[in-house]
Chains A and B, each alone.
Chain A
Amino acid sequence: MLDSEVTSMIIKGIGETLYMTVFSTGFGYLLGLPLGIILAVTDKDGIKPNALLYRILDVLSNILRSIPFLILLILLIPFTRTIVGKSYGSTATIVPLVIAAAPFIARMVESSIKEVDSGVIEAAKSMGASTFTIIRKVLLVEARTSILTGATIGVGTILGYSAMAGTVGGGGLGDIAVRYGYYRYQEDIMIVTVILLIVLVQLFQLAGMKLAARFDHR
């Protein structure tokens, strides 16, 4: 059943899945990290409360998070087309993946930052640290482990979403699983791709947790 043609297709699928996951996570953090920091800082117990700004970002990220991913993907088709030039394939899938991941990442970053001991922040203030310095040298440093742990969860979720995007022609392992398992009833190929997806998630998980533990000195 797994002739060389199928094998090379699966290898290509792994490559596409990794490509989508890595880039979506990267861009997701590019948007989500600052967003999460702003949420944590502007909340009423934050170091620079700003009710209006918090409210806007809070509502925005909640709306985005409550739209099911597949629907978001379809809603974003015109937007994706303007950015990438087409609306199918793995590169195009990165766009909705980033939009779906960013608010979710922001929430995780926000909660990681809020875990930082308020006493340490108070100490930094008493030394004359500015808000920006506190963010850079206290919050991000002390929350580092927690942010990394969050990223590990994030990668797993994004990988799952990317497989979902496969069902509408997004490429990658999810695409293969749907095309062969659902449309052609070749369950063996579907099972292989599912196992590969599970293995990939596990590997990311393991690497992420190891990395987080290495950086933790608590």
Chain B
Amino acid sequence: MAQIVLEHISKRFEIEGKTIDALADINLEIEKGEIFGIIGMSGAGKSTLVRCLNFLEKPTDGKVLIDGSNLGTLTEKELRTQRRDIAMIFQHFNLLLQKTVLDNIAFPLVIQGKKKAEARKRAKELLQIVGLEEKEKAYPSQLSGGQKQRVAIARALASNPHILLCDEATSALDPQTTQSILNLLKQINQKYGITIVIITHQMDVIREVCEKVAIIEAGRLVEHGNVVDIFNHPKSAAGKKLIIGDNVSATVTGEKSQVNEEVIVRAVFTENSAFEPVVANMILRIGEPINILKADTKNVNGIAKGEMLLGLPQNKRKEITEYLTEKGLEIEEVEQYAG
């Protein structure tokens, strides 16, 4: 059985007579050792979902199974013990401001009743893992955002968890720091085999580290699978919006294109095809102008992926699509979401 199993999870909030269905019938399985991404727009229910995984939020309906144990059947005490296996890091780090870096990291062990000296010894080892040995006596207020998140990661690892939940852990960080934190997470996943669940609203984060992804929108799981597949062919509207982005509509509606009766397609190509000047050759062959609305290369799980949005003349659409498909590009029409 998968390490994390969600069966028909629903969560309803009742506030001042209004009900909010934050989660509706979510079914999901996350395997041991995976880096699993959950992406969605703000308010989609991501935080609620991830908080159901350690029962900080008790689902209104459904089952959460962690390593085979059904969290809903545990007593408060058993649940607290279970939570030691499920560590969590947060967008705003949530460190104790009145404790040193070392004591922050030792904190989960102190909570478990370990001796202070023993806890600090382990904390020093963890500081080394996250590369902050020289900061052990500092207080959180003296650290940068990236350093704070490293301390939070070290703290999360203190109790040797099997699972690490990350709720928007890089959303408060600049791109470079985000990269270094993601690398650290990857390293931890590989070295210790810890299952990592990453919650984010940023597609780049998913692309960078996750193997699997689930997309949630308005409390529903609309799509899930391998990152590579979903990145190449997002099926749901939410997926397309997250992956292709809002800039499509901006570009298309913003300026009137010179190409008459334009059809917009998204072309994805891999390393092999990236070398050949495919588009240039195609224009020469078709003899018609086309619009490049957006072009980008991205690293998906270590494979260079190119992505282009092309505005094609309606009458040449079939010809062009066939040509590009022949050259190994994956083509998909996106015009319908342009508005």
A116-137 near B? 1/0 per residue, CB < 8 Å: 0101101111111110010001
Contacting pair A144 B98 (CB below 8 A):
yes
Known contacts A125-B56, A129-B80; decide if A217 and B92 are in contact (CB<8 Å). Answer: no
Contacting residue for A120 out of B83, B88, B96, B159, CB 8 A:
B96
CB distance from A71 to the nearest CB of B (A): 40
- Quick check: which of B105-113, B174-182, B202-210 contacts chain A, the rest being far away? B105-113
Interface hits, A137-171 → B, CB 8 Å: 137-138, 141-142, 144-145
Q: Which residue of A lies closest to B85 (CB)?
A: A128
Q: Say whether chain B's binding surface is mostly helix, strand, loop, or mixed.
A: mixed
Known contacts A133-B111, A217-B139, A218-B141; decide if A123 and B88 are in contact (CB<8 Å). Answer: yes
CB distance from A73 to the nearest CB of B (A): 38
A122 and B141 alpha carbons, distance in the complex (Å): 19
Contacting pair A141 B98 (CB below 8 A):
yes
B232 at the interface (CB under 8 A from A): no
Max chain A C-beta neighbours (<10 A), residue from B86, B87, B111, B159: B111
Interface hits, A190-218 → B, CB 8 Å: 215-218
Interface hits, B81-131 → A, CB 8 Å: 81-84, 86-88, 90, 92-99, 107-108, 110-112
B10 at the interface (CB under 8 A from A): no
B54 at the interface (CB under 8 A from A): yes
Contacting pair A137 B90 (CB below 8 A):
no
Contacting residue for B84 out of A128, A137, A215, A217, CB 8 A:
A128
Max chain B C-beta neighbours (<10 A), residue from A120, A124, A138: A120
Known contacts A137-B110, A137-B111, A218-B141; decide if A126 and B96 are in contact (CB<8 Å). Answer: no
Contacting pair B98 A129 (CB below 8 A):
no
Contacting pair A217 B97 (CB below 8 A):
yes
A137 and B86 alpha carbons, distance in the complex (Å): 20
Q: Which residue of B lies closest to A142 (CB)?
A: B98
Contacting residue for A126 out of B81, B88, B97, B110, CB 8 A:
B88
A126 and B166 alpha carbons, distance in the complex (Å): 12
Q: Which residue of A lies closest to B110 (CB)?
A: A137
Known contacts A130-B80, A217-B141; decide if A142 and B96 are in contact (CB<8 Å). Answer: yes
Contacting pair B90 A122 (CB below 8 A):
yes
Number of interface residues of B (CB under 8 A): 31
Interface residues of A (CB under 8 A from B): 117, 119-120, 122-130, 133, 137-138, 141-142, 144-145, 215-218
Contacting residue for A123 out of B79, B80, B94, CB 8 A:
B94
A82 and B86 alpha carbons, distance in the complex (Å): 56
Contacting residue for A217 out of B80, B94, B98, B112, CB 8 A:
B98
Pick 9 A–B contacts, CB within 8 A, sort by A: A119-B90, A120-B94, A127-B83, A127-B108, A129-B111, A141-B96, A141-B99, A216-B98, A218-B141
Contacting pair A128 B112 (CB below 8 A):
yes
Interface residues of B (CB under 8 A from A): 54, 56, 79-84, 86-88, 90, 92-99, 107-108, 110-112, 139-141, 152, 159, 165
Chain B residues near A216 (CB-CB < 8 A) = 98
Q: Which residue of A lies closest to B93 (CB)?
A: A119
CB distance from A65 to the nearest CB of B (A): 29
Max chain B C-beta neighbours (<10 A), residue from A128, A145, A218: A128
Contacting pair A123 B112 (CB below 8 A):
no
Q: Which residue of B lies closest to A119 (CB)?
A: B94
Known contacts A122-B90, A217-B139, A218-B141; decide if A128 and B111 are in contact (CB<8 Å). Answer: yes
Chain A residues near B165 (CB-CB < 8 A) = 126
Contacting residue for B86 out of A123, A126, A141, A144, CB 8 A:
A126
Chain B residues near A124 (CB-CB < 8 A) = 107, 111
A120 and B56 alpha carbons, distance in the complex (Å): 13
Chain B residues near A129 (CB-CB < 8 A) = 80, 111
For the complex of A and B, 8 pairs with smallest distance between CB atoms: A128-B83, A119-B94, A123-B94, A128-B80, A217-B139, A126-B88, A127-B108, A218-B97
Contacting residue for B54 out of A126, A133, A141, CB 8 A:
A126
Q: Which residue of A lies closest to B84 (CB)?
A: A128
Q: Which residue of A lies closest to B113 (CB)?
A: A133
Chain B residues near A125 (CB-CB < 8 A) = 56, 83
Other CB < 8 Å A-B pairs besides A125-B83, A126-B165, A138-B96, 4 of them?
A122-B94, A129-B111, A133-B111, A217-B141
Contacting pair A119 B98 (CB below 8 A):
no
Max chain B C-beta neighbours (<10 A), residue from A126, A138, A145: A126
Q: Which residue of A lies closest to B86 (CB)?
A: A126
